[in-house]
Amino acid sequence: MKKSLLLVGAFLTVAAMAQAKEIVPAPVVVEEAPVQVVEKEVIVYRDREPQGFRPNGYLDLQYRFYGEAEELNYKNNGVNNNYGRTQLMGRINMTEKQALEYRIRSYNDWNSSSNDKQNGKDGTQTRLRYFYDHGNLGDSNVDLTSRIEYRKEAEDDAQSLEYQARFNFADYLFNNDFVKTTEFTIAPKYKYYWASNNDNYQNRLGIDLYTMHQFPLGFSFEFNLYGDQYFYGQRQYTNGHSTVKDNTGLTMEAYLYNTTNLYTNDKVDVDFYFEGGYDPYNWNSEKVLRTAINEKGDLKEPTNYTYNDNTYELYAYPQIITTYKVSPNFNVYASLGAEYRNWANINQKSAKDWRWQPTAVVGFKTTF
């Protein structure tokens, strides 16, 4: 028994020693710092879609004062010629292919005379033009644009409606350092003209030429031809007794322009501006151009008429124009100038037929 107890004790002692050798040290607990979640804005880049067409254009409003022409008021069978003109004009590009131009001129007399024959120019003239750009013809660089024009005159309330098919060949003409053609348009047309009298109407068939060229040093030149075949509803006098039912006419315009900057800074521009030329020259196959003659000089009804087949007017118009830039899209301007024109314009050449007329203009222009 004693031996058994000794063996059991020895066994337990050996087992305890063996277990003591296999003791695993207690794990070390490491405290981890708390995880912070930071949310950042995620920017996703996408290809921007191209911005669609936005209507754009400009608006110009001005008042022009015409002073008394040199030695012409109440002289030379004339009438008062000092008057004012309010002009509203602009263009709206409604779509990529459609545009509308408008010009309204309202004339007001500056004279207080009760005699209508002594009053200056008066009345309102309206011109509206609608354009539709058909694009280039086939594979060519010839642009085709349709134009419809409505016009109402200031003097006699005559009205007209015209359609033109405008073919612009400018891309085939000059484009170099010396001369650049910005317009060379050939335009077949039909025009209907009518006045207050039911018989006083005209049908016109014809073709026009419009050109514009730019040159160095601020020069440009405009040359236009208007060819018309007239079919009159009311026979037209060619003298005191003879009349005609139709007529062929050709009108020429030729203008030289120049703009030279005299002073400029961030807000102000001062420019010398000149324009002048034929405005216009008229030729007709019949003597249908009638001019009143007042032999008594009392500014009453004409005592006679002259009939001609051609007339012309020449003029020169220098100005000093000052422009103030209120914002990138809004400018105000003022100008002082004088127009030199042959007032007696029927085949006249001598200097006695030329007169100066001072002008002053104030206005603003805005783009959108």
pTM for this structure? 0.81
Q: What is the pLDDT of residues 91-109, one digit of tens each?
A: 999 999 999 999 999 998 8
Identify whether the C-beta of residue 93 lies closer than 8 Å to the C-beta of residue 126. Answer: no
In the three-class reduction of DSSP (H, G, I as helix; E, B as strand; rest coil), residue 16 is classed as helix
Query: Which is more confidently placed, 291 or 21?
Result: 291
pLDDT tier for residue 76 given thresholds of 50, 70 and 90: very low
Q: What is the pLDDT of residue 77?
A: 43
Q: With residue 131 as reference, give the H or E element that holds it.
A: strand 123-136
pLDDT tier for residue 75 given thresholds of 50, 70 and 90: very low
Q: What is the pLDDT of residues 165-191, one digit of tens each?
A: 999 999 999 999 999 999 999 999 999
Alpha carbons 205 and 203: distance in angstroms, whole number? 7
Q: What is the pLDDT of residue 83?
A: 86
pLDDT at 209 > cutoff 80: yes
Question: What average pLDDT does range 42-68 have in this prediction?
Answer: 83
Torsional sign, CA 338, 343, 345, 348: negative
Q: Residue 49 burial (CB < 10 Å; 0-12/13-18/19+)? A: exposed
Q: What is the pLDDT of residues 319-366, one digit of tens each?
A: 999 999 999 999 999 999 999 988 655 555 555 568 899 999 999 999
Q: Quote the tokens at residue 230.
A: 């007239």
Q: What is the pLDDT of residue 36?
A: 64
Q: What is the pLDDT of residue 74?
A: 45
Torsional sign, CA 318, 322, 327, 331: negative
Q: What is the DSSP letter of 175?
A: B
One CATH from 2.40.230, 3.30.160, 1.10.287, 1.10.3470 for 56-367: 2.40.230
pLDDT at 15 > cutoff 90: no
Domain ranges of the chain: 56-367
